[in-house]
Amino acid sequence: MNLSKSSLDKYETEKVVITIPNLIALMRYYGVDEKQQAPLLTLREQAAIVGRLQSYKDVVSLPALRSYELTHAAASVLSFNSSGLPELLRTPNYARELVTRALGEESHEELTERLLELLAARQELLPSGGV
């Protein structure tokens, strides 16, 4: 197996999602039988999907992104919000209004759009494919 220590470190610390060929090579190296490989490949695919949210680290904190990842990895999520709809159930227009009000009267169009894109990306990860 020709994986560098640097590559292994990136995989182990979740800095990058492991490539399918490297995952297969590691599973063979460690003697994982074929029946056990399928669920691991599925987990890798899920990690790659959630990893897409990392492109939004310019608009939300890393702990928030980690929270979003955990939300999407969960089998179910209970949410309570006494003042509005839960975040993942918001329509684009409703979310835009909330973001615009939160950011104030100044023009923050680029930030608003990035936050709405993040919400849409998170909604796409829902099992039903979004709102």
Does 86 map to a domain?
Answer: yes
Does 67 map to a domain?
Answer: yes
Q: Kindly report, residue by residue over 99-123, the tens digit of the pLDDT.
A: 988 888 677 889 999 999 999 988 8
Does 99 map to a domain?
Answer: yes
Q: What is the pLDDT of residue 116?
A: 93
Does 37 map to a domain?
Answer: no
Q: What is the pLDDT of residue 107?
A: 74
- Does residue 13 have a pLDDT over 60? yes
Structural domain count, the chain? 1
- Does residue 131 have a pLDDT over 60? no
Whether residue 109 contacts residue 85, with contact meaning beta carbons closer than 8 Å, is answered with no
Q: Which two tokens stand for residue 12?
A: 């182990």
Alpha helices in the chain (DSSP H): 5-12, 20-29, 34-51, 62-73, 92-103, 109-124
Does 23 map to a domain?
Answer: no
Does 62 map to a domain?
Answer: yes
- Does residue 129 have a pLDDT over 60? no
Whether residue 115 contacts residue 99, with contact meaning beta carbons closer than 8 Å, is answered with yes
Sole residue written with tokens 């409703």: 94
Within 10 A of 34 (CB to CB), how many other CB atoms are there? 8
User: What type of residue sits at position 34?
Assistant: E
Does 33 map to a domain?
Answer: no
Sole residue written with tokens 């615009």: 100
Residue-number span of the structural domain to which 106 is assigned: 55-124
Does 34 map to a domain?
Answer: no
Within 10 A of 69 (CB to CB), how many other CB atoms are there? 19
- Does residue 130 have a pLDDT over 90? no
**Per the confidence metrics, is the pTM higher than 0.75?**
no
Q: Kindly report, residue by residue over 20-67, the tens digit of the pLDDT.
A: 898 998 999 899 998 999 988 888 877 776 667 878 888 988 888 888
Q: Which two tokens stand for residue 89?
A: 């159930």
